[in-house]
Amino acid sequence: MSELNNHSLRITKQRQIILDELCSVTSHPTADVLYQMVRKRLPKISLGTVYRNLEIMSECGIIQKLDIGGTQKRFDGSAHVHYHVRCNQCGRVDDLDLPPDFNVEKAAGKLTSFKILRHRLEFTGTCPECQS
Amino acid sequence: MSELNNHSLRITKQRQIILDELCSVTSHPTADVLYQMVRKRLPKISLGTVYRNLEIMSECGIIQKLDIGGTQKRFDGSAHVHYHVRCNQCGRVDDLDLPPDFNVEKAAGKLTSFKILRHRLEFTGTCPECQS
DNA sequence: ATAATTGCAAACTCTTTGCAACGCC
DNA sequence: GGCGTTGCAAAGAGTTTGCAATTAT
């Protein structure tokens, strides 16, 4: 799948608007939420197109696909490495800008015969709205 | 090894054998792999029963449901907090017994208005078999 | 006795895919 | 014009659920 990098990605209005909408937002929307957002500007777009483009853009490293707890994948318009908090009640996902700890990858590397490539740290908590 | 007693949970042979098989293994099987394992001892068991019991037992804290990358959930017969490495090529998941770092939860708590409850640290790497 | 649990199959949710028409380069 | 991309709908994968029969306590 990494040969997608060699494909010339065309700039279609669908792709542009999906990326626009995703980047316009600090939440980490699921594909269907993003689909609803995009439909306000492109009423005829299909959900399949949204999925296809999110897949392609995350493979190209333009965006991130998040595989956080919960049944649906979420998408992040920012490609830089950072951590996340997920609300155990409503599922909301926020960024958590703790500095990425790459030393922990070295420590892990000493405990396993896996060749460590990256790590993911996720917090579960209760968001302010759900605390009341 | 975990016990089923203590809850209002009945000890059925299905439940007992599912737990037995899960605990007999250091891998982190998906529901369908575990189903195949259990079927060798209980050929008439249904996949739904396996799913139902894994759900119930993880809710009771007897086992853990892992929501690691990949399309299927995985299950861990051990309920103690620990980290995991997942192979980016074959999907195999191993334990990684780095001591859980609860200080990171305190640090995170200072950066967010979420009330932090727990954290999850997962590594991605290439397993020995896939390195060749 | 009675309430939890089971097997079965159908339903459900999320995501992917085949295909003919379309549109960017 | 060529070929990547789209909309549509159907298929796929994984999991959950309704129900009547069964079983643990």
For helices B31-39 and B13-23, the axis angle rounded to 10 degrees is 110
A90 and A63 within one domain:
no
Strand D within 7 A of A68 CB? no
Average pLDDT across chain A, whole number: 92
CB contact under 8 A, B114 and A108: no
Contact B117, A87 (CB under 8 A): no
**Claim to verify: residue A67 and residue A90 sit in the same structural domain:** no
Size of interface A-B (CB pairs under 8 A): 110
Share of chain B above pLDDT 90, in %: 83
Looking only at Cα atoms, what is the longest distance across chain A?
53
- B24 vs B68: which has the higher pLDDT: B24
User: Same structural domain for residues B43 and B88?
Assistant: no
Contact state of B104 with A121 under an 8 Å Cβ cutoff: yes
Predicted confidence band at A2 (pLDDT cuts at 50, 70, 90)?
very low
Closest CA to A77 of A4, A35, A21: A21
Positions of chain C reached by protein Cβ under 7 A = 4-10, 13-18, 23-25
Q: Which residues pair with A17 in a beta bridge?
A: none
Residues B102 and B68 in one domain: no
Closest partner residue to B94 among A88, A112, A125, by Cβ?
A: A112
First to last CA, chain A: 45
**Where in the sequence is the domain holding A69, given as residue range(s)?**
2-76
Q: Say yes or no: A54 and A102 in one domain.
A: no
Residue finishing a domain among A57, A76, A95: A76
Question: What's residue B44's pLDDT?
Answer: 97
Q: What is the CA radius of gyration of chain B?
A: 17
Contact assignment for A127 to B113 by CB distance below 8 Å:
yes
Q: What's the structural domain count of chain B?
A: 2
Q: What local confidence, expressed as pLDDT, does residue A5 receive?
A: 44
pTM of the model: 0.89
Q: Do both A100 and A49 map to the same domain?
A: no
Does A23 lie in the same domain as A42? yes
d(CA B38, CA B34): 6
pLDDT at position B7:
55
Residues of A in contact with B101 (CB under 8 A): 104
Predicted confidence (pLDDT) per residue in B7-57, tens digit: 589 999 999 999 999 999 999 999 999 999 999 999 999 999 999 999 999
Q: Which of A31, A48, A76 is the last residue of a domain?
A: A76
Q: Do B57 and B89 share a domain, yes or no?
A: no
Find the CB nearest A123 among B97, B98, B105. Answer: B105
What confidence category does residue B2 fall into, taking pLDDT thresholds of 50, 70 and 90? very low
Boundary (domain end) residue, out of B38, B56, B76: B76
A94 and A46 share one domain? no
Within this chain, do residues B99 and B120 fall inside the same structural domain, yes or no? yes
Are residue A69 and residue A87 in the same domain, yes or no? no
Q: In this structure, what CATH number is given to the domain that contains residue A87?
A: 3.30.1490.190
Provide, in whole angstroms, the distance separating residue B2's CA from nucleotide D18's C1'.
Answer: 31
Long-range contacts formed by B92-98: CB under 8 A, 24+ apart:
B92/B27, B92/B127, B92/B129, B93/B27, B93/B28, B93/B66, B93/B68, B94/A112, B94/A114, B94/B26, B94/B28, B94/B127, B95/B26, B96/A108, B96/A111, B96/A112, B96/B123, B97/A111, B98/A104, B98/A107, B98/A108, B98/A111
B43: domain CATH number?
1.10.10.10
Does B12 contact strand D, using a CB cutoff of 7 Å?
A: yes
The residue ranges of DSSP E strands in chain B, in sequence order, are: 64-66, 74-76, 83-87, 93-96, 115-126
Q: Do A56 and A94 belong together in one domain? A: no
Q: Which of A50, A126, A128, A121 is nearest to A88 (CA)?
A: A126
